[in-house]
Structure 1
Amino acid sequence: MGGHMEWAASANHLKGVPRKLVIGGVGLFAKTVATLLNHTNVHNSHTLLRLLRSRPPGVPLITVSNHMSTLDDPVMWGFKGFPTSDASLARWALAAEDICFKNTVLSYFFRLGKCIPITRGGGIYQEHMNEALDRLSDGEWLHTFPEGKVSQEDAPIRRLKWGTASLIARSPVTPIVLPIVHRGFEKVMPEDYLFGRRPPFPLCNKRVEIIVGDPVEFDIPNMKEMAISLSRDTSLPLIGWPSTADGLDEPAQRHLYTTIADQIRTVMERLRSLSKSNSELKA
């Protein structure tokens, strides 16, 4: 592993110049792939742009989306009108440690690009989830792929991992949660293109459809009370999670995170059906 370089993720690292260069360069790449080389159509983009620029002070934003290719982030932010070169507005993202943080150079690059290393299968109490919580405490924007891995099949949204749900529940200020569903990136960067490998460059002349949903509201205090009362009878095998500061033991946490994850999955699946019917109308 190339270390986790928290210092490189700081906005003050070398006066912010390396971060601006990386985010500007990656933004230019995203715009080129999304708008020049392919046809990207975004529904309800004004909701995302409004929440980026003018949500209430101190309120964090979590965007969640399906995961169709290794290019989804950053290319899904390359559509017309998106402020790709503004490093202060850019999202923080949870990124797979085994892919994005393999060595020092990659670690430095992804840290400058506002990525937080996550060990897949490492659970919700792994070290860098606290870093994600810190960013939410700062009122920042965080993007996650709650399915946890790329899937290029045209299939229903898989059961979501608990990580995103736990961040929503544990954040000091409940985030605004915005679901986004896309299709077409699996054609821009197919996993099985040449001898079972991805192409060396993104493919061109593909149609990408992005549907931004409406914010999902969570009444976390009420949901916590429900989770405590409904989890008393459960006899699930326990992993050994610590109780939270407000007294949720592990069964209550599991109940709460499952409820949040299922709610997000239902909304994402509705958007996916919508995107499918849209693309069929255009075909």
Structure 2
Amino acid sequence: MRPEEQPEAPSGPWRAASAITMGAVGLLCKGFLNGLSKVETHGMDGFLKLLDEREDPERRERGLITVSNHISVMDDPILWGILPLPYIFSPDNLRWGLGSYDLCFTNKGLSTFFTFGQVLPTHRSAHSNFGGLFQPTITEAIRLLSRGPFMHEQDPPTKPATSVKSPDVIDPFSGGHLSFSTNGQDTFPAPSAYRSRRHAWVHIFPEGMIHQSEQRIMRYFKWGVSRLILESEPMPDIVPIFIEGFDNIMHETRTFPRFIPRPFQNVRVTFGEKLDADEVFGDLRARWKQMRAREEKRSGPLDMGVLNDALKYSDEAVSLRKECTRRIRQAVLDVRRQRGYPEDDPKNSLASTWLREGPHREGRKEDASITKDT
């Protein structure tokens, strides 16, 4: 796509539907938190100032990544109910999230709702052969954090399925070149195709699953977050967040009716300061750029978010992702420590530590914690 071909924004009906969806869900979450819960926030003024600076997409100079622990099935969207009212009706300045394909995108109705709610369809490796950190949705997230226009590696299907059982979603007022596919068969709008979506805000739960622990211990972080940090251009702003109390709203041991959030809980959200990303990740990004330049010199230019095998699987690429993931997890741990929790056991950052839980991914573990796929 040439710069002159990049549209400014999705169609008017699409923007209206997204604003209504985001606003309505935001109002429900805000009403629940303010009316039926006790909410305590720390560092929120600094975060709102950052959002204010990003209000005009034309003036944004970089994307925004927020990273937090994951303690309940309703962390997102309830978490964002803490935002003041003026913020929740501005989709261009609200978060994009990653939602499980097999839960949120199983039919056209759910796909439409979550797409309007700025959720990207994400395959989980435990449930799909299309999962992993190299799936097209991660590419789309990288592009959202960056500045377009971008070329599509391949065009999505030209005739999306019309069945209500199909997950396909399209903007009827836009062309097919503004879409992407997660598996070569489905079709979803590509938000990165629009100028108003450049340098967007992406929130991610790198643990990849719910972990409810009395000690607020975090599981290891998966490497997808490292791709967002290493590959987005320019370096995004990064804000670590630590959340507490949402597990009591939707605890995994809750009884009937399980689908109803439990009121009258104490909820705390602590925003860390915006990281000095160049100081924390600058050396890793420099090494990544050198590696990518070598590969492009050898095999030709690569589109944003598109990798060859060396950039995916080489020892150097793996090493960079591991170290980047370790550092961003430490940033969230630093916020956790501000809340008075003890130092984390370094072994908790290793996937091998959690393999000892055995083949059963979900349920109560030997340390009394509870895990759940989301």
| CA distance in structure 2 between the aligned counterparts of 1:256 and 1:275, rounded to whole angstroms | 30
Task: Spell out the pairing of 1:50-89 with structure 2 (5 A cutoff).
Answer: 50-55=49-54, 57-79=60-82, 81=84, 83-89=87-93
| CA distance in structure 2 between the aligned counterparts of 1:120 and 1:45, rounded to whole angstroms | 32
Q: Secondary structure at the match of 1:210?
A: strand
Q: Which of 302, 314, 317 is equivalent to 1:250?
A: 314
Cα RMSD for the two superposed structures: 2.3
TM-score normalized with structure 1 length: 0.82
Contact 1:65 1:181 in 2 (8 A): yes
The aligned residue for residue 207 of structure 1 is 266
CA offsets, 1:171-218, max 9 Å, x none? Answer: 1211111100011000011111117xx722111110001110012233
| CA distance in structure 1 between the aligned counterparts of 2:244 and 2:199, rounded to whole angstroms | 29
Query: Which one-letter code corresponds to 1:110 in the other structure?
Result: F
Shift of 1:37: 0.8
1:149 equivalent in alignment to 2:158: no
1:40 equivalent in alignment to 2:35: no
Higher radius of gyration, 1 or 2? 2
Q: Which of 199, 204, 216 is equivalent to 1:139?
A: 199
The aligned residue for residue 222 of structure 1 is 283
Pair 114,37 (structure 1): closer, same or farther in 2 beyond 3 Å = same
Query: Which one-letter code corresponds to 2:241 in the other structure?
Result: I
| CA distance in structure 1 between the aligned counterparts of 2:340 and 2:102, rounded to whole angstroms | 32
Contact 2:211 2:218 in 1 (8 A): no
Query: Which one-letter code corresponds to 2:232 in the other structure?
Result: S
Query: Which one-letter code corresponds to 1:128 in the other structure?
Result: T
Contact 1:165 1:257 in 2 (8 A): yes
TM-score normalized with structure 2 length: 0.63
| CA distance in structure 1 between the aligned counterparts of 2:95 and 2:336, rounded to whole angstroms | 23
Query: Which one-letter code corresponds to 1:73 in the other structure?
Result: D
Aligned-residue identity in percent: 30
Shift of 1:225: 5.0
Shift of 1:84: 1.8
| CA distance in structure 2 between the aligned counterparts of 1:274 and 1:218, rounded to whole angstroms | 20
The aligned residue for residue 96 of structure 1 is 100
Structure 2 gap ranges (5+): 1-8, 126-130, 147-197, 292-306, 342-374
Pair 53,225 (structure 1): closer, same or farther in 2 beyond 3 Å = closer
| CA distance in structure 1 between the aligned counterparts of 2:282 and 2:134, rounded to whole angstroms | 21
Q: Secondary structure at the match of 1:150?
A: strand
Q: Secondary structure at the match of 1:179?
A: strand
Equivalent residues, number: 253
| CA distance in structure 1 between the aligned counterparts of 2:10 and 2:123, rounded to whole angstroms | 24
| CA distance in structure 2 between the aligned counterparts of 1:66 and 1:143, rounded to whole angstroms | 11
Pair 80,104 (structure 1): closer, same or farther in 2 beyond 3 Å = closer
Task: Spell out the pairing of 1:3-18 with structure 2 (5 A cutoff).
Answer: 11-12=10-11, 14-18=13-17
Query: Which one-letter code corresponds to 2:33 in the other structure?
Result: A
Q: Which of 101, 105, 109 is equivalent to 1:105?
A: 109
1:182 equivalent in alignment to 2:249: no
CA offsets, 1:97-122, max 9 Å, x none? Answer: 11111111111000000111111222
Query: Which one-letter code corresponds to 1:131 in the other structure?
Result: E
Segments ≥4 residues shifted beyond 4 Å: 224-229
| CA distance in structure 2 between the aligned counterparts of 1:225 and 1:136, rounded to whole angstroms | 18
Pair 15,160 (structure 1): closer, same or farther in 2 beyond 3 Å = closer
The aligned residue for residue 167 of structure 2 is none
Q: Secondary structure at the match of 2:269?
A: strand
